[in-house]
Chain A
């Protein structure tokens, strides 16, 4: 099955700085790569996703990049704010049914 590795496991940034989380996947057939954000005690929620036919996607302060050759994708958060503090999960899937998640990155934004 698909194996997704996520780094770093924890990330502390100063408010206003950028945060970058990186993930690698094992199966070159994977074609869908979402990112979920989970605030403390809450359920995971989709924040951005990308398909394998696109190299980059942006949504306000959030962007995701995909390198199919290297089988890795990254989440970039610019101008971080306290409300960006959360656990972020990357995921990958082949087709639509089964998502394999990374282990998560705990992001702390320091005021």
Chain B
């Protein structure tokens, strides 16, 4: 039982390049989330998907897009990466009727 799996774990991009962070969960959870973690700023919600087929903006959505591909997968895309998007990105999921967020291991992204 893998839980929440994120890929890649590390990525270095040049300004203006695009990339997609992948996230998959095998717990049959309805809700999925993307957070970014920056020193001194905690975890900030980028986008979330309350259920399959829906997505909504969080606190810091600018520069990102998401796709809830199916119940298991929720991807985060950077169309034109900027140095301000250098961060650690965490995917998380939550089951229906439950409160606990289960996080993935994180993806460290550096934009030069």
Residue pairs across A and B with CB atoms within 8 Å: the count is 51
Q: Which residues of B contact A (CB under 8 A)?
A: 31, 35, 40-45, 48, 50, 56, 58-59, 90, 94, 99-101, 103-106
Identify A43's interface contact among B48, B59, B90, CB under 8 A: B90
Count of A residues near B, CB < 8 Å? 24
Q: Tell me the smallest distance from the CB of B32 to a CB of chain A, in Å.
A: 11
Q: Tell me the smallest distance from the CB of B10 to a CB of chain A, in Å.
A: 12
Report the nearest A residue to B91, measured CB to CB.
A43
Which has the most chain B C-beta neighbours within 10 Å: A1, A9, A96?
A96
Identify B90's interface contact among A44, A49, A91, CB under 8 A: A44
Residues on the B chain within 8 Å of A4, using CB: 42
Please state if B103 and A43 are interface contacts (CB–CB under 8 Å). yes
SS of A interface (majority):
strand
Do A98 and B58 contact each other (CB < 8 Å), given the known contacts A6-B42, A103-B41?
yes
Do A46 and B41 contact each other (CB < 8 Å), given the known contacts A1-B59, A98-B58?
no
Q: A1–B100 Cα gap in the complex (Å)?
A: 21
Q: List 11 A-B contacts (CB under 8 A).
A: A34-B101, A43-B105, A44-B101, A91-B43, A96-B31, A96-B94, A96-B99, A97-B31, A103-B40, A103-B41, A103-B42
Residues on the B chain within 8 Å of A14, using CB: none
Report the nearest A residue to B38, measured CB to CB.
A103
Residues on the B chain within 8 Å of A46, using CB: 100-101
Please state if B48 and A98 are interface contacts (CB–CB under 8 Å). yes
Q: A43–B94 Cα gap in the complex (Å)?
A: 15
Please state if B48 and A32 are interface contacts (CB–CB under 8 Å). no
Q: A96–B94 Cα gap in the complex (Å)?
A: 9
